[in-house]
Structure 1
Amino acid sequence: MKAIVNGKKINYSVAGQGKAVVLLGGEEQALAQENLLAESGYRVIVPDLSQTGESRDCSLAGKVVALMNYLGTGRAVVAASHFNAELVRTLIDRYPQRFADVVILDGSTEENTANLAARLHRLRGARQSGVRLSRVA
């Protein structure tokens, strides 16, 4: 799908319904996780930031949050590969109220998918009062 966010096009995909999870990672990894999480009761948002024409993390962070606004997403969990750690840091520094939790993914696609699903299921029943940084290996 495509959206016009802050005057620029951004491609994205959305799958499933439920608590929002924003996946920022490699395409192959995101697609594998998207399907599993959507089937597990989550609304999975995968923005394609490679085609936005932006390279600064603050610009990309603004686009992620603008896409969340466009989609009517409230607080979300953000999960990202370590390649996007600076973008995640910018997101939580600038928009802490928008993210219930952060998970940095460092394992293989299969390990990350399984660990992320397990972490989300643990978080499902817990009340989140603030952002917690987590590392999934």
Structure 2
Amino acid sequence: MKAKINGVQIGYDDFGKGPAVLFVHGYPLNRKMWRRQVEPLVNDGFRVILTDLSGFGESELREDAGDLHTHADDLVGLLNYLGVGRAVVCGISMGGYVLFDLLDRYPKRVAGACFVVTRPVGDDVQERVKRAELRRALDNGETDQVREAFLRVLMTPSARKKSRSPDMREVCEWVRSAEPLSLAAGLNAIGGRKDYTSLLKNFSLPTLVVGAELDRVIHPLHSEILARHLPNCFRAVSLKGGHLVNLEKFQAFNGHLLEFLRTLVPRSRDMAEPSVPSS
């Protein structure tokens, strides 16, 4: 489905009924990466909302898509469009960075947060240099090389061996179809993100942290930092998978996520209320 949010077309899906759970995908993927989470949550009585960030999947690229604020604004716009006052938000990698911005600027719209293979710290010097090299490669027309570089780190060696499986085959298709301008905007948004380490203590809502032992993008140490500093962390787990842990280890991932969501239902009945608070 598509909706006009803040002036551009945004792709989304809306499944089931009940307390709302909004999923935010990672870079450079799209909302389909959450395919393994939809049915278990809907069957358990949750409303599942998936959305494409600007420039990815079926969402148009905005001129200001290189700013995380833009993506958080789109999430709020979509919740408004769907009549959802509050939702649990689950963000992976770049989606986790968008979630930080959402918590910082729209805290009343989030009933609970699930951070998946993401980190609160900003880029260090080495990472800034690496992102600059990738942007330069895109400017030089080396888009295919950049796409393949991302695939090498997104998938563990074992996952690459399973690249003929439906999940991994689709991952390859998603990355290889990402447009150069969208790739560049995403790099800018990630590289320009704020360091939230000192602000974690202010995020008092219930949280779940999921790391991945074999992740080649986000070191598991960052999940430990989140768990240590978030004041209301329900659980921090590290699954034996790579960056796409919600696909590689979907059964374990879904189990932890559902257990977390069930603890929120008794005290978050208003998550699915149609009224939209001003913010």
TM over 0.5: yes
State how far apart, in whole Å, the 1-side matches of 2:261 and 2:254 are. Answer: 11
Identify the residue that residue 5 of structure 1 maps to in structure 2: 5
Which of 56, 66, 77 is 2:67 aligned to?
Answer: 56
Cα RMSD for the two superposed structures: 1.7
Residue deviations 1:8-35, cap 9 Å, x none? 0000001010001001125454111122
State how far apart, in whole Å, the 2-side matches of 1:29 and 1:10 are. Answer: 16
Identify the residue that residue 76 of structure 1 maps to in structure 2: 87
Identify the residue that residue 16 of structure 1 maps to in structure 2: 16
State whether residues 90 and 96 of structure 2, in contact with CA within 8 Å, keep that contact through their aligned partners in structure 1.
no
State how far apart, in whole Å, the 2-side matches of 1:44 and 1:37 are. Answer: 7
Which has more radius of gyration? 2
Listed as ranges, the gaps of 5+ residues in structure 1 are 129-137
Identify the residue that residue 124 of structure 1 maps to in structure 2: 265
Residue 35 (1) aligns with residue 39 (2): yes
Distance 1:112 1:55, change over 3 A: farther
Give 1:96's aligned amino acid. Answer: P
Shift of 1:39: 1.2
Give 2:103's aligned amino acid. Answer: I
Matched residue pairs, number? Answer: 128
Identify the structure with the greater strand proportion: 1
State how far apart, in whole Å, the 2-side matches of 1:28 and 1:6 are. Answer: 22
Residue 25 (1) aligns with residue 13 (2): no
TM-score by length of 2: 0.43
Identify the residue that residue 110 of structure 2 maps to in structure 1: 99
Identify the structure with the greater helix proportion: 2
Residue deviations 1:85-124, cap 9 Å, x none? 2211100111000001111123422132221111101211
Q: Secondary structure at the match of 2:90?
A: strand
TM-score by length of 1: 0.85
State how far apart, in whole Å, the 1-side matches of 2:257 and 2:111 are. Answer: 14
State how far apart, in whole Å, the 1-side matches of 2:18 and 2:39 are. Answer: 14
Compare 28-37 and 65-74 and name the one that shifted more: 28-37
Residue deviations 1:25-61, cap 9 Å, x none? 2545411112211111111110111234123210000
Q: Secondary structure at the match of 1:73?
A: coil
| Percent of aligned pairs with the same amino acid | 33
State how far apart, in whole Å, the 2-side matches of 1:94 and 1:68 are. Answer: 15
State how far apart, in whole Å, the 1-side matches of 2:66 and 2:253 are. Answer: 26
State how far apart, in whole Å, the 1-side matches of 2:86 and 2:67 are. Answer: 23
